[in-house]
């Protein structure tokens, strides 16, 4: 008697996920959004480190900035999140209703002797450390775009 | 996300259960400051149940470290998983804090 064929693993190469959501300017929504996005990366076999550290921390920072700084926690303002992920890379865009900021000016070295003792100022630094690219531009709002290549 | 505080000898041990991030870090700060105000001097924060910390969570730890030191106290951190260790290394906060691999080593080091 022959044994039944083992089911073949689904080839992920052509899988592409796109997620678009909108949240109020309330930091309590951050964890849920991060969980959803990290789950998509997990489905596409991004590395454990990327799923448990890079994406959660970078996205939490971007959402936190959008809510607290961009939208100043105004109850009527919204934050949009667009997630586009395939087997090669993840692109996240976080959009707030604020006037924007100068990325180059705000990307300070949080590890310098004067900065390491500060209580603030690590958000953008961490985003730049954990993502392959961080960009900011205006497009129907203030957009912060994070790009990360997939690691095994 | 929640915190459990309890005394072990002279040391206040705080167990952080879940992520330490923008939505909850004020609560940790307040709980520890309340104990500091009551005269407690030795604090151990145990992160064995924490997956990640964001910059505001790190900021609160920096703030607590300063305030505890100002009162002549000591703060130790224990049980950082590999992801948390990476965060502390990236931000060079591993040079600012006393970090122990285990709770026991942390308790012994006071």
Q: What is the CATH number of the domain that holds B11?
A: 3.30.750.24
Note the pLDDT of residue A43.
92
Alpha-helix residue ranges (DSSP H) falling in chain B: 25-37, 55-70, 82-90, 103-108
Nearest CA in chain B to A60: B54
Q: Is the pLDDT of residue A1 over 60?
A: no
Judged by CB atoms closer than 8 Å, whether chains meet at B55 and A27 is answered as no
- Chain A: give the shortest CA distance to residue B49, in Å: 13
Residues 6+ apart with CB under 8 A from B77: B44, B45, B47, B61, B97, B98, B99, B100, B106
Q: Is the pLDDT of residue B31 over 80?
A: yes
Regarding pTM above 0.80, the answer is yes
Note the pLDDT of residue A11.
76
Note the pLDDT of residue B14.
97
Judged by CB atoms closer than 8 Å, whether chains meet at A126 and B87 is answered as yes
Query: Is 0.85 exceeded by the ipTM?
Result: yes
CB nearest A53 (choices: B21, B83, B96): B83
CB nearest B22 (choices: A27, A56, A119): A27
Note the pLDDT of residue A152.
85
Q: Is the pLDDT of residue B1 over 80?
A: no
- Split at pLDDT 50, 70, 90, the class of A34 is very high
CB nearest B54 (choices: A64, A117, A118): A64
The 8-class DSSP code of residue B71 comes to T
Averaged pLDDT for residues B59-66:
97
Judged by CB atoms closer than 8 Å, whether chains meet at B21 and A116 is answered as no
Using only the alpha carbons of chain A, give its radius of gyration: 18
Angle between the N-to-C axes of helices A123-130 and A55-65, in degrees from 0 to 180, rounded to the nearest 10: 140
Q: How many domains does the structure of chain B reveal? A: 1
How far are the Cα atoms of A39, A100, B28, B40, B84 from residue B109, in angstroms, in the given order? 39, 47, 23, 17, 21
Averaged pLDDT for residues B29-38:
96
Selected residue with higher pLDDT from A10 and B41: B41
Q: Is the pLDDT of residue A3 over 90?
A: no
- Chain A: give the shortest CA distance to residue B37, in Å: 21
Q: Cα(first)–Cα(last) distance of chain A, in Å? A: 38
Percent of chain A exceeding pLDDT 90 equals 88
- CB contacts < 8 Å between A and B, how many? 76
Substitution target from A60, A65, A94 for chain B, most B beta carbons within 10 A: A60
Judged by CB atoms closer than 8 Å, whether chains meet at B63 and A119 is answered as yes
- Chain A: give the shortest CA distance to residue B99, in Å: 16
Domain A18-149 is found in CATH 3.30.565.10: yes
Averaged pLDDT for residues A51-65:
97
Angle between the N-to-C axes of helices A123-130 and B82-90, in degrees from 0 to 180, rounded to the nearest 10: 120
Note the pLDDT of residue A2.
53
For residue B77, the enclosing domain spans: 2-108
Of A113-117, B22-26, B32-36, minimum mean pLDDT range: B22-26
């Amino acid at each position: 008697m022959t044994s039944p064929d083992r089911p073949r693993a689904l080839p992920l190469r052509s899988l592409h996920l796109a997620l678009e959501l909108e949240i109020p300017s309330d930091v309590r929504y951050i964890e849920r959004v991060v969980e959803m996005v990290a789950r998509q990366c997990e489905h596409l076999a991004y590395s454990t480190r990327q799923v448990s550290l890079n994406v959660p921390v970078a996205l939490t920072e971007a959402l936190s900035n959008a809510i607290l700084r961009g939208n100043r926690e105004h109850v009527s303002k919204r934050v949009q999140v667009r997630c586009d992920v395939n087997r090669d890379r993840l692109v996240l865009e976080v959009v707030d209703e604020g006037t924007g900021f100068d990325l180059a000016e705000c990307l300070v070295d949080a590890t310098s002797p004067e900065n390491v003792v500060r209580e603030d100022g690590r958000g953008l630094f961490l985003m730049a450390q954990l993502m392959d690219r961080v960009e900011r531009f205006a497009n129907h709002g203030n957009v912060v775009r994070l790009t990360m290549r997939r690691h095994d | 996300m929640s915190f459990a505080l309890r005394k072990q000898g002279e040391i206040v041990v705080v167990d952080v259960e879940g992520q330490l991030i923008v939505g909850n870090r004020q609560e940790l700060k307040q709980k520890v400051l309340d104990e500091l105000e009551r005269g407690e001097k030795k604090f151990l924060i145990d992160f064995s149940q924490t997956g990640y910390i964001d910059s505001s969570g790190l900021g609160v730890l920096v703030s607590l470290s300063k305030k505890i030191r100002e009162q002549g106290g000591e703060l130790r951190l224990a049980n950082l998983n590999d992801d948390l260790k990476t965060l502390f290394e990236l931000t060079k906060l591993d040079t600012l804090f006393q970090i122990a691999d285990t709770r026991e080593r942390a308790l012994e080091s006071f």
